[in-house]
């Protein structure tokens, strides 16, 4: 639909309202764009039109008001990222079937608070698309058209698009640098009201990044297909077995009296002993007090948050990415925290050691330290390796 057709549709809606309500057309058309001009309509005009409807005739069909609202959105060329989204509201998950009925084969699972797009309705069933899954769910298990709910269960993300991005205390390039984040890091957006800048959450607190160096999007949890679930479970089992084997080798090495000393540090550390998450937690704790170094991976001479977690697990023979965002995809997700679990935050990551406490490479000022409670910031994911 081109601009002139958008303007025509908008004018038609307003004209229909004027005729129906017998209001003065000039009151509605005062802010209308002239022919050939960009078809942009202000929010103020939308409110004026809706106000006229309400004042003149309280019983007017809501379809007419919806026509105006839809035309406004279309004329402005904008549509909310949260519109037309259906959200699952179930205890755990609802099966997605290949036909509209209980006899349909299960093709995937739509978990609680997951998002989908409703393609059609067949009786009391919805045909939905979510992630790589298209199929049918009972309509009673999803809520449609509730943008507030869609915002609550989603995460607004700013993905870094430069090698190193400065997070600043104020939305100006002259303000102090609060922290630094690497390329491809995914940060939780907390505010977008300042033109040209986005407020994000990092370990140091909330600060501002320039819109020139981030790509913003909305992140929803989507359905998991039957094939994806099978592949995930197989991958998790393989990782558990590999980690257990690595832990056994580390334990055997310890029993033979082998130990490692850290070069460049007067502080003596011991090699990993035992296996499982508790062994990981115990090993990680001995590095508390060592420095934080952006981009570093040394447990003694300095590491950043993901470098610390990566190097701790490397001692158990487990290879992890040097990226806190990428660590949200390692191992398998859990809802309960146990020692050794990787706790993921916006732009940050740490290791749970028990007693509602994590050990992590926090900031240049804090170094490697303990923090309690573990949910001192919003937890995005809990990943378990062992």
Report the catalytic residues: 305, 348, 360
* DSSP-based three-state secondary structure for 199: strand
* DSSP-based three-state secondary structure for 182: strand
Residues 6+ apart with CB under 8 A from 171: 194, 196, 197, 199, 208
- What ranges in the chain are assigned the alpha helix state H? 3-21, 25-29, 43-56, 62-76, 147-153, 226-255, 277-285, 305-314
289: alpha, beta or left? (left if phi > 0; alpha if psi -120 to 50):
left
The strand ranges marked E within 98-176 are: 106-111, 115-122, 125-130, 133-138, 142-144, 155-160, 164-168
> Is residue 180 a contact partner of residue 165, using CB atoms and an 8 Å limit?
yes
> Is residue 127 a contact partner of residue 120, using CB atoms and an 8 Å limit?
yes
d(CA 50, CA 368): 57
Rounded to a whole number of angstroms, the distance between the first and last alpha carbons of the chain is 55
For the chain, the C-alpha Rg in angstroms (whole number) is 27
Interstrand relation of 197-202 and 186-191 (parallel, antiparallel or unpaired): antiparallel
* DSSP-based three-state secondary structure for 150: helix
> Is residue 310 a contact partner of residue 320, using CB atoms and an 8 Å limit?
yes
Q: How far is CA 234 from the centre of its chain?
A: 25
């Amino acid at each position: 639909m081109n601009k002139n057709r958008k303007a025509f549709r908008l004018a038609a809606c307003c004209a229909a309202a004027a005729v129906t309500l017998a209001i003065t057309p000039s009151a509605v058309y005062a802010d209308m764009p002239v022919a050939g001009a960009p078809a942009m309509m202000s929010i103020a005009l939308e409110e004026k039109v809706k106000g006229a409807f309400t004042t003149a005739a309280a019983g007017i069909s809501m379809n007419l008001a919806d026509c105006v609202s839809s035309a406004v959105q279309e004329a402005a060329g904008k549509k909310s990222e949260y519109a037309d989204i259906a959200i699952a509201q179930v205890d755990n998950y609802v099966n997605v079937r290949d036909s509209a009925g209980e006899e349909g084969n299960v093709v995937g699972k739509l978990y609680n608070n997951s998002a989908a797009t409703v393609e059609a309705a067949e009786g009391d069933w919805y045909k939905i698309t979510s992630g790589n899954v298209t199929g049918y769910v009972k309509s009673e298990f999803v809520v449609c058209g509730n943008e507030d709910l869609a915002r609550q269960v989603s995460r607004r993300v700013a993905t870094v698009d430069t090698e190193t991005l400065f997070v600043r205390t104020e939305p100006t390039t002259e303000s102090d640098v609060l922290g630094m984040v690497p390329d491809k890091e995914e940060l939780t957006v907390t505010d977008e009201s300042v033109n040209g800048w986005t407020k994000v959450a990092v370990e140091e607190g909330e600060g501002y990044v320039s819109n020139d160096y981030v790509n913003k999007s909305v992140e929803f949890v989507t359905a998991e297909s039957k094939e994806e679930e099978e592949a995930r479970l197989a991958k998790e089992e393989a990782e558990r077995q590999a980690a257990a084997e690595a832990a056994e080798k580390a334990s055997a090495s310890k029993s033979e009296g082998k130990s490692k000393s850290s070069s460049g540090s007067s502080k003596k550390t011991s090699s990993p002993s035992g296996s499982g998450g508790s062994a990981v937690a115990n090993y990680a704790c001995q590095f508390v007090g060592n420095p934080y170094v952006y981009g570093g991976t040394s447990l003694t001479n300095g590491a950043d948050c993901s470098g610390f977690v990566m190097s701790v697990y490397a001692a158990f023979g487990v290879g992890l990415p040097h990226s806190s965002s990428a660590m949200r995809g390692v191992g398998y997700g859990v809802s309960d925290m146990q020692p050794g679990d990787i706790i993921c935050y916006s732009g940050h990551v740490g290791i749970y050691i028990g007693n509602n406490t994590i050990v992590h490479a926090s900031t240049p000022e804090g170094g490697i330290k303990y923090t309690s409670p573990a949910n001192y910031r919003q937890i995005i994911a809990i990943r378990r390796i062992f």
